[in-house]
């Protein structure tokens, strides 16, 4: 089983992530940031991974450190769980609509961190959540998972819908990228021989 547990403790946050890439889409989320919990649940359900995250952060200041550090810790857990990537598809992509909103996510488990984030949210906050923090989350995740990630919101008027399509598409693209490729069993999907 491709599983990992990572604990990250700083002066700003204390975070625990348990991840099973061969799960059934179950999640247990206690981040202290309800809208982020809702989005993380989309990753678990649509990525068919089991995800447990517990976080305590300096939310009396704002959610920035907590959201960013959850991205970092989840990225570390992902890198640990995915291992040497032998036999994986490596690439994944998904388009996901929700009413008027449509997002596209493309992933390469390249071993090189790179994020392209093109999401022009129609408002600055969704409830109490600052939408700028989504970029911070994905930047932390990308840097520590060592993946190349392109996120494009192609349409949308409702910021909640925009966010939800991004996270659902990320889950779907991740599911594709981490799938075992029967034609490449035991082979690292790179001409370099390593990722």
pLDDT at 96 over 80: yes
Q: How confident is the model at residue 185 (pLDDT cuts 50, 70, 90)?
A: confident
pLDDT digits (tens, 9 = 90+) for 24-34: 999 999 999 99
Mean pLDDT along residues 83-103: 96
Task: For the chain, give the mean pLDDT.
Answer: 96
pLDDT at 79: 97
Q: How confident is the model at residue 9 (pLDDT cuts 50, 70, 90)?
A: very high
Bigger pLDDT: 106 vs 185 = 106
pLDDT at 194: 76
Residue ranges per structural domain of the chain: 1-176
Q: How confident is the model at residue 187 (pLDDT cuts 50, 70, 90)?
A: confident
Q: Specify the range with the lowest mean pLDDT, choosing from 1-5, 101-105, 162-166.
A: 1-5
pLDDT at 191: 77
pLDDT at 164 over 80: yes
Q: What is the 3-state secondary structure (H, E, C) of the chain?
A: CCEEEEEEECCCEEEEEEEECCCCCCEEEECCCHHHHHHHHHHHHHHCCEEEEEEEECCCCCCHHHHHHHHHHHHHHHHHHHCCCCCECCEEEEEEEECCEEEEEEEECCCCCEEEEECCCCCCEECCEECHHHHHHHHHHHHHHCCEEEEEEEECCCHHHHHHHHHHHHHHHHHHHCCECHHHCCCCCCCCCCC
Considering the domain 1-176 in this protein, what is its CATH number?
Answer: 3.30.230.40
């Amino acid at each position: 089983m491709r599983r990992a547990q990572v604990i990250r403790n700083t002066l700003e946050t204390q975070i625990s992530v348990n991840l099973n890439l061969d799960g059934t889409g179950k999640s247990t989320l206690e981040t202290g940031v309800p809208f982020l919990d809702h989005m993380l649940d989309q990753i678990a359900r649509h990525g068919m991974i089991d995800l447990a995250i517990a976080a305590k952060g300096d939310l009396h200041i704002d959610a920035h450190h907590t959201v960013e550090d959850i991205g970092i810790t989840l990225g570390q857990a992902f890198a640990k769980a995915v291992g040497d990537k032998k036999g994986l598809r490596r690439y994944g992509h998904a388009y996901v609509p929700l009413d008027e909103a449509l997002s596209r996510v493309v992933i390469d488990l390249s071993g090189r961190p790179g994020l392209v984030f093109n999401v022009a949210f129609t408002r600055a906050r969704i409830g109490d959540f600052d939408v700028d923090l989504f970029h911070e989350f994905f930047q932390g995740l990308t840097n520590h998972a060592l993946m190349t990630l392109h996120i494009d919101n192609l349409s949308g008027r409702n910021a909640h819908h925009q966010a939800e399509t991004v996270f659902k598409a990320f889950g779907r693209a991740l599911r594709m990228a981490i799938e075992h490729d029967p034609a490449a069993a035991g082979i690292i999907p790179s001409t370099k021989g390593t990722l």
